[in-house]
């Protein structure tokens, strides 16, 4: 961030100032609101819809307006907005017209990070939330009292954030709109790099350049921790010194004696045994995430036994293979996967769990992603035994490209497609039987379809 902008923002987030957050119910806006309030600021905010998040904020005494209106910003010293709130938002437009400074969410987090000796920023196309949760478990086990900002619910914290008094902040760091360029990492973790968010990035090369810029924010004395098995990450970081983790034994942090279900192994760091790992979560991808967390712990001087205990206690973050209940004897889980490679990794992990049938209820997330990765989606969505598609979740977009979930269904034998979530729920209930696993998958509100059948089954 430019020095002038830093100075201006720092002057606005001081005790006694009034800060208004546009999109306050978002996964990283909600903890930001709470952190700022606990630092002595008066906080207000707005969101398009009421939710559990906005209810929680209201219960904490934060005034939340439902709907965006110009009058909501009255009295604010500054406005902080989510990346999805653009200049045509009535509150943003009103603030600009009134000369009230408007900042991005990531800029505020970046300023807060500078107050910590250690800023561990965890990035990557996939696995950010899980790896951030794993690192949090280790640091909590080690008694480090960290501050945490995570893009999902972590049962250990009973929230998606934590305000600690230690000298470390652990932050999930998203590349969308280059938001992580505003951060101030002393430890930058990059899990992987793939094509995604193509409504913002031009192509994969631009994405790799964005991640390289993020890595270059690490100062002398800090460290870049990168997935050494990922070709795109290696290309993006070419020439930069990195601590590498991965399954390959040429990595600084790697496993040996890996069990068939990917849950147990010996972790080696710097050529020496570091810990005996026994994970509570399934899948090769989760072992790789755990290796990244071990790399952070090892670099930060946390002993292997402590790291292993912390990781053993990690049972997933909210909407990451989260058990929701049962329906007609079938077990229902929910997962946030919304990229074809994430969906594939999830299905491969579930295939080791011994269910008779895998039923996937998938809700594509954004029109642009569905179009850009259409062929990849078709390929991976053929993998489950039964596929149920919900309509595309628009999120921040409008359907200007005329694409629908039915376009996917036509390419996948046996797929069924529904326009509404209640229809998805009714169909799932009609086909569920003992021995099945039902997965509700996507970054939108598909979880409601699974919750509905579990609630009715009780």
Alpha-carbon distance 307 to 263, whole Å?
A: 15
Q: Give catalytic status of residue 172 as yes or no.
A: yes
Three-state DSSP string of the chain: CCHHHHHHHHHHCCCCCEEEEECCCCCCHHHHHHHHHHCCCEEEEEECCCCHHHHHHHHCCCEEEECCCHHHHCCCCEEEECCCCCCCCHHHHHHHHHCCCEEEHHHHHHHHHCCCCEEEEEECCCCHHHHHHHHHHHHHHCCCCCEEEEEEEECCCCEEEECCCCCEEEEECCCHHHHHHHCCCCEEEECCCCCCCCCCCCCHHHHHHHHHHHHCCCCCCCEEEEECCCHHHHHHCCCCCCEEECCCCCCCEEEECCCCCCCEEEEEECCEEEEEEECCCCCHHHHHHHHHHHHHHHHCCCCHHHHHHHHHCCCCCCCCCEEEEEECCEEEEEECCCCHHHHHHHHHHHCCCCCCEEEEEECCECHHHHHHCHHHHHHHHCCCCEEEEECCECCCCCCCCCCCHHHHHCCCCCCEEECCHHHHHHHHHHHCCCCEEEEEECCCCCHHHHHHHHHHHC
CA 127 to mean position of chain CA atoms: 7
CB 127 within 8 A of CB 301: no
Specify whether 128 is catalytic: yes
**Of the listed 44, 104, 128, 451, which one is catalytic?**
128
- Of 172, 195, 322, 342, catalytic: 172
Please say whether the beta carbons of 440 and 334 come within 8 A: yes
Residue tagged active-site, from 82, 129, 130, 168: 129
| Distance, first Cα to last Cα, the chain | 52
Active site residues: 128-129, 172
């Amino acid at each position: 961030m430019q020095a002038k902008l830093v100075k201006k923002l720092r002057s606005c987030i001081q005790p006694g100032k009034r800060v208004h957050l546009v999109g306050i119910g978002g996964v990283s806006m909600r903890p930001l609101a709470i952190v700022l309030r606990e630092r002595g600021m008066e906080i207000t905010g707005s969101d398009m819809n009421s939710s559990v998040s906005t209810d929680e904020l209201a219960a904490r005494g934060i005034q939340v307006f439902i709907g965006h209106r110009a009058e909501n910003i009255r009295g604010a010293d500054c406005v902080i907005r989510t990346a999805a709130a653009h200049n045509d938002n009535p509150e943003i437009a009103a603030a600009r017209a009134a000369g009230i400074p408007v900042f991005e969410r990531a800029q505020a987090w970046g300023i807060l990070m500078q107050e910590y000796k250690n800023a561990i920023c965890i990035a990557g196309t996939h696995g950010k939330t899980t790896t951030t949760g794993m690192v949090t478990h280790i640091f909590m086990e080690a008694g480090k009292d960290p501050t945490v900002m995570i893009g999902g619910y972590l049962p250990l914290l009973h929230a998606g954030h934590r305000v600690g008094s230690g000298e470390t902040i652990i932050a999930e760091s998203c590349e969308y709109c280059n938001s992580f360029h505003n951060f101030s990492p002393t430890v930058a973790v990059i899990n992987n790099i793939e094509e995604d968010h193509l409504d913002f990035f031009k192509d994969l090369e631009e994405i790799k350049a964005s991640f390289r810029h993020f890595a270059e924010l690490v100062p002398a004395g800090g460290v870049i921790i990168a997935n050494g098995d990922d070709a795109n990450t290696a290309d993006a970081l070419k020439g930069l010194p990195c601590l590498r983790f991965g399954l390959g034994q040429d990595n600084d942090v790697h496993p040996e004696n890996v069990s068939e279900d990917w849950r147990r192994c010996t972790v080696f760091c710097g050529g020496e045994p570091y810990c005996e790992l026994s994970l509570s979560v399934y899948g090769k991808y989760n072992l790789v995430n755990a290796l990244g967390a071990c790399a952070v712990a090892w670099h930060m001087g946390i002993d292997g036994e402590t790291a292993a205990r912390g990781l053993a206690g990690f049972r997933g973050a909210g909407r990451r293979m989260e058990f929701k209940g049962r329906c007609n004897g079938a077990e229902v889980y929910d997962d946030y996967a919304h990229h074809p490679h994430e969906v594939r990794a999830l299905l491969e992990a579930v295939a080791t769990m011994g269910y008779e049938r895998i039923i996937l209820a998938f809700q594509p997330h954004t029109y642009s992603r569905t179009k850009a990765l259409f062929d990849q989606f078709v390929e991976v969505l053929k993998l489950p035994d039964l596929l149920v598609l919900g309509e595309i979740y628009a999120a921040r977009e409008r359907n200007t490209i005329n694409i629908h979930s039915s376009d996917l269904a036509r390419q996948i034998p046996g797929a069924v497609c529904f326009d509404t979530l209640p229809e998805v729920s009714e169909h799932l209930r009609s086909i569920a039987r003992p021995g099945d696993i039902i997965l509700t998958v996507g970054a939108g509100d598909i979880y409601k379809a699974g919750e509905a059948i579990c609630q009715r089954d009780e």
